[in-house]
C-alpha cells in the first residue's frame, strides 16, 4: 500500500526534489479532486480533469517561481541547495499572484483540451468572475504555501540541531583523545626516567623509540578514523617501547586477519587497554607474561580483544585501570551509543590474567 506521509528519498539534486514535490502534489491533488468531483460536480470526469489540471499547473508555476525567486535572492551565496531555500514572503506573494493567474489559465486550457469543452478562463471572463477565480485559487495557494514553509523551517531547525549534535560529539572525541595522549606520554616518560638511572643505553634506545612513536602517532591522529592495520601498527610501536624496559618479561602477539586490515576504527582505541594490561597485569607479575591483541568479526560486529596472562583483576586495586577504560567507554558511547560495549573480565583458562573485549558495529557511524 502507498504511504503518503512517508517522505520520498531525496538526493542532493534540486531537479529531483522538484519532481518529488510534483509527485506528492499529483497524489494528494488526485484524491482531493476525486472527492470534490464526486460530491459537487454533475460530470465527474470533467470535474476531476479540470480540478487536477488547474492544481498541477498552479503548483508548477508557483513552485517553479519560488525556485527562480530563491535563486535570484540568494544569487550571491555559494552554499549548495539555494534553489530549495525560501525567498521571503514579499517575493512569495508576487509568485503566488502571478503563478495562480498563469497556472489557473494554463490548467483551464488543459482541462478544455482533455474534456473538449470551452470553459471560460481567467482572461476571457468578466472582472467579477476573474476576481472570484483569483481569490478562490489564491487562498488555498497561500494556505498550502504556509504549510510547506512551516514544514521547511521545522526541517531546517532539525537539520541544524543534528549538525550541532554531530559537532559536539566530534569535539568531545577530540577532547578525549587530547586527554588520552598526554596520559600515555607521562607514563612513558616516568618509565624513561627510571631507566636513565639504572641503564642509560637502554634509556637512549627507548628515547629513540619514543620519538618515532610520537611522530607516527601525530601523523595518524590527524583524522577521526583510520584502518585497523594502522591501529595495530601503533600498538606495536608502543609495545616495542615497553619491551625495551621489560625485556623478555613482555611477550606480545598481534593477531589481525588480512580481511580486517582495512576496517575503519577510531584512533587510540586499543592503546589504553594495552597500557592497562602491562601496567596492572604484567608488570606486577614477577615473570611477566604474554600479551595478545586480536581482532575478529562476528556477524555485523567487530570484536577487539586484549588479553594478558598477568596478575589478574584482583591485583589492579580500586584505582587501577580506571582512566583508560573510562576514555574508551566514553568514546564508544559518543560514536555508537548502546551499540558498542567494553567488557573487562578474568580470563577463563588455566593461564589466568585479564581479558578486555570491545564489541562495536563493523560499519562506522
pLDDT, mean of residues 214-231: 74
What is the Cα–Cα distance from 225 to 365, expressed in whole angstroms?
A: 11
What is the Cα–Cα distance from 306 to 316, expressed in whole angstroms?
A: 16
pLDDT, mean of residues 14-42: 74
Q: State yes or no: pLDDT of 176 exceeds 60.
A: no
What is the Cα–Cα distance from 82 to 211, expressed in whole angstroms?
A: 49
Q: What pLDDT is stored for residue 1 in this prediction?
A: 35
Average pLDDT, the chain: 76
Q: Select the highest-mean-pLDDT range: 54-63, 200-209, 286-295.
A: 286-295
The answer to whether the CB of 211 falls within 8 A of the CB of 172 is: no
Q: Select the highest-mean-pLDDT range: 172-186, 213-227, 244-258.
A: 244-258
Strands in the chain per DSSP E: 226-227, 250-255, 264-265, 289-298, 301-308, 341-346, 354-361
pTM of the model: 0.51
- Grid coordinates belonging to 92: 512569495
What is the Cα–Cα distance from 260 to 250, expressed in whole angstroms?
A: 26
Q: Give 220's contacts (C-beta < 8 A, 6+ positions apart).
A: 226, 230, 234, 267
pLDDT class of 80 with cuts at 50, 70, 90 = very low
CATH 3.30.565.10 in the chain, residue ranges: 165-361
Q: What pLDDT is stored for residue 6 in this prediction?
A: 38
Whether domain 165-361 has CATH 3.30.1860.10: the reply is no
Q: State yes or no: pLDDT of 313 exceeds 60.
A: yes
What is the Cα–Cα distance from 145 to 197, expressed in whole angstroms?
A: 79
Q: What pLDDT is stored for residue 215 in this prediction?
A: 75
pLDDT class of 4 with cuts at 50, 70, 90 = very low
pLDDT class of 340 with cuts at 50, 70, 90 = very high
Q: State yes or no: pLDDT of 234 exceeds 90.
A: no
Amino acid at each position: 500500500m502507498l504511504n503518503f506521509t512517508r517522505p520520498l528519498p531525496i538526493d542532493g539534486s534540486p531537479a529531483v526534489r522538484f519532481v518529488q514535490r510534483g509527485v506528492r502534489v499529483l497524489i494528494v491533488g488526485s484524491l482531493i479532486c476525486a472527492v470534490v468531483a464526486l460530491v459537487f460536480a454533475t460530470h465527474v470526469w470533467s470535474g476531476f480533469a479540470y480540478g487536477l489540471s488547474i492544481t498541477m499547473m498552479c503548483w508548477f508555476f508557483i513552485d517553479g517561481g519560488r525556485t527562480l525567486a530563491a535563486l535570484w535572492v540568494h544569487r550571491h551565496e555559494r552554499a549548495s541547495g539555494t534553489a530549495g531555500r525560501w525567498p521571503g514572503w514579499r517575493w512569495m506573494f508576487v509568485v503566488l499572484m502571478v503563478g495562480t493567474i498563469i497556472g489557473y489559465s494554463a490548467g483551464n486550457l488543459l482541462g478544455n483540451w482533455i474534456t473538449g469543452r470551452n470553459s471560460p478562463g481567467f482572461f476571457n471572463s468578466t472582472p467579477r468572475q476573474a476576481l472570484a477565480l483569483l481569490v478562490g485559487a489564491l487562498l488555498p495557494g497561500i494556505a498550502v504555501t504556509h504549510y510547506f514553509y512551516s514544514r521547511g523551517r521545522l526541517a531546517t531547525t532539525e537539520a541544524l540541531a543534528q549538525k550541532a549534535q554531530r559537532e559536539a560529539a566530534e569535539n568531545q572525541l577530540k577532547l578525549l583523545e587530547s586527554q588520552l595522549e598526554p596520559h600515555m606520554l607521562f607514563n612513558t616518560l616516568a618509565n624513561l626516567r627510571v631507566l636513565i638511572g639504572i641503564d642509560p643505553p637502554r634509556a637512549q634506545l627507548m628515547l629513540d623509540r619514543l620519538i618515532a612513536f610520537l611522530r607516527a602517532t601525530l601523523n595518524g591522529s590527524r583524522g577521526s578514523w583510520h584502518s585497523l592495520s594502522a591501529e595495530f601498527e601503533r600498538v606495536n610501536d608502543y609495545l616495542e617501547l615497553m619491551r625495551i624496559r621489560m625485556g623478555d618479561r613482555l611477550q606480545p602477539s598481534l593477531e589481525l586477519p588480512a580481511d580486517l586490515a582495512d576496517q575503519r576504527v577510531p584512533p587510540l582505541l586499543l592503546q589504553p587497554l594495552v597500557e592497562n594490561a602491562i601496567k596492572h597485569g604484567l608488570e606486577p607479575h614477577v615473570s611477566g607474561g604474554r600479551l595478545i591483541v586480536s581482532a575478529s568479526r562476528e556477524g555485523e560486529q567487530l570484536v577487539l580483544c586484549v588479553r594478558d596472562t598477568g596478575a589478574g583483576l584482583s591485583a589492579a586495586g580500586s584505582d587501577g585501570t580506571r582512566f583508560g577504560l573510562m576514555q574508551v567507554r566514553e568514546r564508544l558511547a559518543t560514536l555508537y551509543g548502546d551499540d558498542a560495549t567494553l567488557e573487562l573480565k578474568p580470563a577463563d583458562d588455566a593461564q589466568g590474567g585479564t581479558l578486555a573485549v570491545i564489541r562495536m558495529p563493523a560499519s562506522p557511524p
